[in-house]
Structure 1
Amino acid sequence: MSIVYKRRSIRKYQKKDVPDELVKEVIRAAMHAPSACNQQPWHFVVIRDAETRKKVAEIHPHAKMILEAPVAILVCGDPSLEKCKGFWVQDCSAAVENLLLRAAELGLGAVWCGVYPREDRVKSFQKLLGIPEHVIPFALVPMGYPAEQPTPEDRFKPERIHYEKW
């Protein structure tokens, strides 16, 4: 079965560190995502510090699992790097999906926690992590070795497919 079908959002993690090499590998996969005009408008902030993770859990109401995760990656978009204006959100979305799939291939668990377009979250992450004002925190991905194994589920819905016209 393809990793596309096996990947699940993991919110519980073992008390085991994730080596830097694996963190770099999932970011490498993220950087291989397609992007409009090959603009690659992304930046990544690796978060390991326990105090910083506590502050992140206070900022983001749906990211409490970061307290258990040994590492999190904040994917940010930089509109100043755009060649094709307006596509940074799609580009960063593709990067996050690549990151999630590579993490699953490596035996890691991860979950996508949205930051953008919630202005309060964007500003709070910029302040907490010293992110320049023109760089937009897009998605937080807590990651670690899974302490849960959700079963794959079939999400295929043929009624959502339209051929030629609606």
Structure 2
Amino acid sequence: VIYTNEEAFWRQRGTQRWVLRGDTAYFQAIANGRRRRNTIPLLWDRETLLQHPTENRAHVDGFYKALFSTSPRGGLSLAPSFWDPHQLVSDTENAALTAPFSKAEVWTAIKGMNSASAPGPDGLPVKFFQTFWDVIKPEVMALFEEFYVGAIDLSRLNYGIITLIPKVAGASNIRQFRPITV
């Protein structure tokens, strides 16, 4: 069954020729071509050529950490007169904003998400959370409770997977790639 599904997939992607003759060279060329297109074989770091995947990863990581990090700023404060009194949060609004998350509130947010969206870093699509809400509700609500009381390490939630899209053919400098976060 698996082979039949794979064969159907590749039949749709390529010509009928290799399926009819069992031409694995055609299959290998398609698979290897895609791998070559999606791989960054080398990068230049100023005057140094980086060819090893570990070096490339370290260079990309360092480049984007430096680009997106901020230097600490001390003494930044706004004068009380900066805010218009009508723009301040009322006591009622403050109570609503600082209240613990309710099951209904979390479920409304999950229901409102696009069920066909791509899975997150955990590999679970939104449809999973919508379908199995009754089963996973205690664990999800425990996560929200930990967040509310400040007992959760937010660094594990605040990250993305960066994919580099070349801006030009044959890109070899990190500035020739456009980062997108998935």
Q: Same fold (TM over 0.5)?
A: no
Q: Which has the larger radius of gyration?
A: 2
Structure with greater helix percent: 2
RCO higher in 1 or 2 (8 Å CA, sep ≥ 6)? 1
Structure with greater strand percent: 1
The TM-score, its normalising length taken from structure 1, stands at: 0.18
The TM-score, its normalising length taken from structure 2, stands at: 0.17
